[in-house]
Amino acid sequence: MSGPLSHVTVLLAEAVEALAVKPDGIYVDGTFGRGGHSRALLARLGERGRLIAFDRDPAAIEAGKALADARLTLVHAPFSALDAELGRLRVERVDGVLLDLGVSSPQLDDASRGMSFRFDAPLDMRMDTSRGQTAAEWLAEASVAEITEVLRDYGEERFAYAIAKALAAARAGGAVATTGQLAAIVEKAVRTREPGQHPATRSFQALRIFINQELEELSQVLPACVERLRVGGRLVVISFHSLEDRIVKRFMRDEARPQQLPSRLPVRASELPQPRLRLVGKAVRPGEAEVAVNPRARSAVMRVAERAEAA
The answer to whether 36 is annotated as binding is yes
Q: Please name every residue paired with 235 in a beta bridge, in sequence order, or none if there are none.
A: 97, 305
Q: What's the pLDDT score for residue 271?
A: 59
Q: What's the rounded Cα separation, in Å, for the pair 196 and 284?
A: 25
- Is 7 assigned a ligand-binding role in the annotation? no
In this structure, which amino acid lies at residue 139? Answer: L
Q: Is 55 annotated as a binding residue?
A: yes
CATH topology match: 12-106+214-307 vs 129-211: no
The b/e string for 87-113 (b: 16+ C-beta within 10 A; e otherwise) is: eeeeeeebbbbbbbbbbbbbbbbbeeb
* CATH homologous superfamily of 129-211: Putative methyltransferase TM0872, insert domain (1.10.150.170)
Residue 210 assigned ligand-binding role: no
Fold annotation for 12-106+214-307: Rossmann fold (3.40.50)
What pLDDT shows up at residue 175?
A: 87
Domain ranges of the chain: 12-106+214-307, 129-211
Q: What is the pLDDT of residue 261?
A: 60
What pLDDT sits at residue 198?
87
CB 113 within 8 A of CB 107: yes
Q: How far apart are CA 203 and CA 116, in angstroms?
A: 11
Is residue 309 within 8 A of residue 278, CB to CB? The reply is no
- pLDDT < 70 positions in the chain: 1-7, 105-106, 109, 259-273, 310-311
Is 79 annotated to bind ligand?
yes
